[in-house]
């Protein structure tokens, strides 16, 4: 599909600019909710081993926000199906044609599972996007594509530290707003330093 090819190439170029280029564009992640037997690998002799219960090096995003922190971020619309596989997508600011091409191509492959989007705030969505995504929100059935959408607020900065409007196609560093809260449910500041949204999206995937 020509539209999706252009989309993937654009994302790959953005990854080049922020230093996150891989052999293939890292646009979506597929999460299989069914437990898989881990593959045994020989540890490298020069790599420090971190046990599964040791969070001193790799603490969870929620832990960074405080011992009593809670997650405030909720879906703008749609409901997760816990027994379904899920494809996690960071896709903010695109025209309807991009969303339509992506979702319909998944449906045409026979994919049956959740598709979880991070999208722009409703006031910034392009024409027809919300209506289309809502039409594919199908949590009442265990079959077919089911869309869940989150609207994330970002506070972004240029490399100079000056305030910026939006992520600048991955060039600006950003912090998430109203994602974490204290025990009483009051919002707390994003505990991490401003970083490209291409990096911050993995914290959203952890939350989802």
Smallest CA-to-CA distance from 78 within 132, 153, 4, 154 is with 132
Residues 141-158 have pLDDT tens digits of 889 999 999 999 999 999
More confident residue, 205 or 55: 205
More confident residue, 133 or 167: 133
Residues 22-47 have pLDDT tens digits of 333 344 444 444 444 445 555 555 65
What's this model's pTM, rounded to 2 decimal places? 0.70
- Which H or E element spans position 205? helix 197-207
pLDDT for 47: 52
Tell me how far apart the alpha carbons of residues 44 and 98 are, in angstroms, rounded to a whole number.
Answer: 42
Helix, strand or coil, per DSSP, at residue 117? strand
Average pLDDT, the chain: 79
Smallest CA-to-CA distance from 77 within 149, 129, 132 is with 149
Measured N-to-C along each axis, helices 197-207 and 2-18 cross at an angle, to the nearest 10 degrees, of 110
Helix, strand or coil, per DSSP, at residue 173? strand
- Range in 12-16, 90-94, 122-126, 189-193 the model is least confident about: 12-16
- For residue 44, the Cα-to-chain-centroid distance in whole angstroms is 30
Smallest CA-to-CA distance from 18 within 171, 176, 195 is with 171
pLDDT at 18 over 80: no
């Amino acid at each position: 599909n020509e539209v999706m090819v252009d989309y993937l190439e654009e994302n790959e170029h953005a990854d080049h600019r922020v230093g996150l280029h891989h052999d293939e564009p890292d646009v979506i992640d597929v999460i299989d909710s069914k437990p898989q037997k881990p593959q045994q690998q020989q540890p490298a002799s020069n790599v420090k081993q971190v046990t599964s219960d040791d969070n001193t090096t790799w603490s969870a995003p929620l832990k960074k926000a405080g011992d009593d922190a809670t997650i405030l971020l909720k879906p703008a619309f749609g409901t997760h199906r816990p027994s379904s596989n899920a494809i996690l997508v960071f896709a903010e600011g695109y025209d309807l044609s991009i969303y339509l091409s992506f979702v319909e191509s998944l449906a045409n492959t026979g994919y049956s599972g959740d598709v979880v989007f991070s999208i722009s705030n409703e006031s910034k969505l392009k024409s027809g996007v919300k209506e289309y995504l809502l039409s594919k929100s199908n949590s009442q059935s265990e079959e077919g594509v089911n869309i869940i959408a989150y609207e994330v607020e970002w506070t972004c900065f240029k490399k100079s530290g000056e305030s910026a409007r939006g992520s600048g196609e991955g060039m600006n560093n950003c912090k998430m707003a109203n994602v974490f809260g204290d025990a009483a449910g009051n919002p707390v500041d994003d505990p991490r330093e401003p970083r490209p949204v291409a990096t911050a999206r993995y914290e959203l995937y952890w939350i989802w």
